[in-house]
Amino acid sequence: MSDGSLPSSPQIGLFGFGAFGRLIAPHLAAHCPVRVHDPLLPPGPLMPGMAATNLEDAAACPIVILAVPVARMQAVARAIAPHLPRHALVADVGSVKILPAEILCRELPDHVRIIATHPLFGPQSARDGIAGHRIVLCPLRRTRPGAVAAFLRRTLGLDVILTTPDAHDRDAAMAQGLTHLLARILSEMGPMPERISTSSFDLIRAATAMVRDDAPDVSHAIAHLNPHAGAVRRRFLAIAGRIAESDDAKDAAPFPERAFG
């Protein structure tokens, strides 16, 4: 394992069986045995190739995936640290990357290989399958991402994007931050027109509907645990304010009736 390659059928320890853990578990179990640990899940078989188990047992796998809220990442990392086998590969799937990267590098033993990931899909967008969707990989420690990327590309059919936690969080602050902000604004504005609408507004309503039921932990991480989120939010608001002010001034101007000839 120290050469970065994956053994033919390594056991995977999956921590967290929330919306995202449940989404990816069957895709993993189709290729490797999966041991799931979630405090809410009693030990026992879940489906062929997948069983719920205790924390120590799931942490003893050569590959460990943390599908837990970012706000729980530190507690989980501390809890599994003593049980990880030598050269285990640990990956998170959080919606932000700078903070989990810091936590995992700080809390996990030095022999552990660490890769931060952000699958850019969820139960809504991947309800017809995960193939064709995107995943961000940030290799952090003792990781050559080749074998992981090859598995994600060839076996799961994902589009793999290699980058750094900071570059990820900058772009995600725009992509996810603005989508969630807009969804919250439209939700507070009340019922949106459905019949008297345009193709473009239909897309906006569809986009906001996709994130409206995201877990509160995901929305919280996107708004508060991405260090670039606040600046994007304040810039959006400042620009919206300038546009509204300029529009109000134009409203007050005389009607721009034009001649026809």
What is the C-alpha separation between 221 and 231, in angstroms, rounded?
15
Q: Is 189 in the site for a second copy (CB under 8 A)?
A: yes
For residue 161, give every residue at least 6 positions away whose Cβ sits within 8 Å of its Cβ, in sequence order, or none.
Answer: 120, 134, 135, 136, 137
Q: Which residues pair with 37 in a beta bridge?
A: 15
Binding pattern for the stretch 17-56 against a second copy, x by CB under 8 A and - elsewhere: ----------------------x-----------------
Q: Is 83 in the site for a second copy (CB under 8 A)?
A: no
Q: What count of other Cβ atoms lies within 10 Å of the Cβ of residue 118?
A: 24
Q: How far is the CB of 119 from a second copy (least distance, A)?
A: 10
**What separation in angstroms does the CA of 10 have from each of 3, 63, 98, 166?**
15, 7, 28, 30
Nearer to a second copy, 13 or 69 (CB): 69
Nearer to a second copy, 113 or 168 (CB): 168
Region from 19-27, 46-54, 143-151, 199-207 binding a second copy, contact rule CB under 8 A: 199-207
Region from 24-32, 107-115, 137-145, 162-170 binding a second copy, contact rule CB under 8 A: 162-170
Q: How far is the CB of 3 from a second copy (least distance, A)?
A: 29
Q: How far is the CB of 94 from a second copy (least distance, A)?
A: 14
How much is the CA Rg of the chain, to the nearest whole Å?
22
Nearer to a second copy, 153 or 235 (CB): 235
Q: How far is the CB of 259 from a second copy (least distance, A)?
A: 5
State which of residues 11, 155, 163, 164 lies at the interface with a second copy (CB under 8 A).
Answer: 163
- Sign of the torsion angle spanned by Cα atoms 34, 39, 43, 44: negative
Q: Is 249 in the site for a second copy (CB under 8 A)?
A: no
Q: In the window 108-127, what residues touch a second copy (CB under 8 A)?
A: 120-121, 124-125
Region from 46-54, 108-116, 143-151, 223-231 binding a second copy, contact rule CB under 8 A: 223-231
**Structural contact between residues 148 and 6, judged by C-beta atoms closer than 8 angstroms:** yes
Region from 2-10, 22-30, 105-113, 253-261 binding a second copy, contact rule CB under 8 A: 253-261
**Structural contact between residues 10 and 32, judged by C-beta atoms closer than 8 angstroms:** yes
State which of residues 19, 41, 51, 210 lies at the interface with a second copy (CB under 8 A).
Answer: 210
What is the C-alpha separation between 109 and 112, in angstroms, rounded?
6
200 CB burial (10 A radius; 0-12, 13-18, 19+): exposed
What is the C-alpha separation between 162 and 42, in angstroms, rounded?
36
